[in-house]
Amino acid sequence: MKAIVYDAPRKFEFRDIPVPKIQPNEILLRVHACGLCGTDLHVHEGEFGPRFPLTPGHEFSGEIVELGSEVTGLKQGQRATASTTMACGKCFYCKRGDFLECENLDGIGVEINGAFAEYIKLRADLVFPIEKLSTRESVMVEPTACAVHGMQTLAMKPASRVLLFGAGPTGQVLAQLLKLNGASHLTVAAPAGPKLDLIARLAADEVVPINRKDPEVHRRGLQEVSANGFDYVIEATGSTDLLQDAIRFTRRRGTIMVYAVYPDRAIARITPADIMRRELTIKGSFAQIDCFPRALDYLESGKVKVDEIVTHEVPLRDYQKALDLAFAREGIKIAITP
Confidence at 263, pLDDT banded by 50, 70, 90: confident
Find the mean pLDDT for residues 159-181.
98
pLDDT at 76 over 90: yes
Contact 1, 16 (CB under 8 A): yes
For position 154, what pLDDT does the model report? Answer: 98
For position 177, what pLDDT does the model report? Answer: 98
How far apart CA 215 and CA 247 sit, in angstroms, is 15
pLDDT at 178 over 90: yes
Find the mean pLDDT for residues 84-111.
98
For position 230, what pLDDT does the model report? Answer: 98
Quote the mean pLDDT of the chain: 97
- The residues spanned by each domain of the chain are 2-140+306-337, 145-284
Largest separation between any pair of C-alpha atoms in the chain = 62
How far apart CA 150 and CA 286 sit, in angstroms, is 8
pLDDT at 131 over 90: yes
Q: What is the CATH number of domain 2-140+306-337?
A: 3.90.180.10
Confidence at 203, pLDDT banded by 50, 70, 90: very high
- Where are the strands (E) in the chain, listed by range? 2-8, 11-16, 26-36, 59-67, 79-82, 85-86, 106-107, 119-123, 127-129, 160-165, 183-190, 206-209, 230-235, 250-258, 281-284, 310-315, 333-337
Question: What is the chain's length?
Answer: 338
Kindly report which listed range (61-65, 76-80, 266-270) carries the lowest average pLDDT score.
266-270
Report CA-CA distances (Å) from 273 to 1, 199, 249, 278, 326: 57, 35, 16, 8, 38
How far apart CA 265 and CA 12 sit, in angstroms, is 24
As a whole number of Å, the CA-based R_g of the chain is: 20
Q: Does domain 145-284 have CATH number 3.40.50.720?
A: yes
Instruction: Please give the model's pTM, rounded to 2 decimal places.
Output: 0.97
Residue-wise pLDDT for 211-249, tens only, equals 999 999 999 999 999 999 999 999 999 999 999 999 999
How far apart CA 296 and CA 81 sit, in angstroms, is 10
